[in-house]
Structure 1
């Protein structure tokens, strides 16, 4: 009997750990929000950053001769030097193939009364040995009692 129960628990745990890498993407042009569904019943919304800002960043990449994805993210969102406490600034990368990288910046424990964390996702592509930003999107997590606690394009109260 114990073996049957243990087997059922293991099967349930393994079936719940499934991570579907094929995300469904939907873009709502009116609100400039992007929804990405990476798991069943889990949606993360993003605020899409204006193309003019992306163009200015690409001009900065050229003028300052930025060579790495980290330098580019730091040019767009520099680490906050005025924070206190447990502020973290974490950059990670995912290879998307076709000379493209997804650069993810998570700033956590922000010095803000309503905003707890901010996530910025940048798609960078190498063209003729030069890095170019293709798109930028961001979302937010609010502090307790100041709005949503999950990642969302909705601003905090």
Structure 2
């Protein structure tokens, strides 16, 4: 449904609504895109994005907090420092793993019956051949524009909740 919404928002051409909701998505994918396998399309690059990306993001967040605090006790950091640390941590996540997200996205919207890509490595090779390195960072600016404030807010909310709970 996210891909459907993104395509509809481009304004390039009329996009027919393909799905009527989450259960309709599951029903149609099971029926027309290879059964259970279709539900897990793009899982490998998603895991390749999430596992190292989150390790990097949380590591950067903690390192920045300690840097700002001048040591390991970060309990006295102001909200401003927490916002900056959270935003930069989110930016580091996407800077490192964005190419895997592009690969995941092209695999997920690839036609099941007539696929352009046989898997993650094939998608990588074809993107590099047709668009070069820049193709792996297509849409990076808007992703950063969303990621930095979203992660800044999430990390701040986490710290405030943790502080309130003791």
TM-score (norm 2): 0.26
Bigger helix share: 2
Bigger strand share: 1
TM-score (norm 1): 0.27
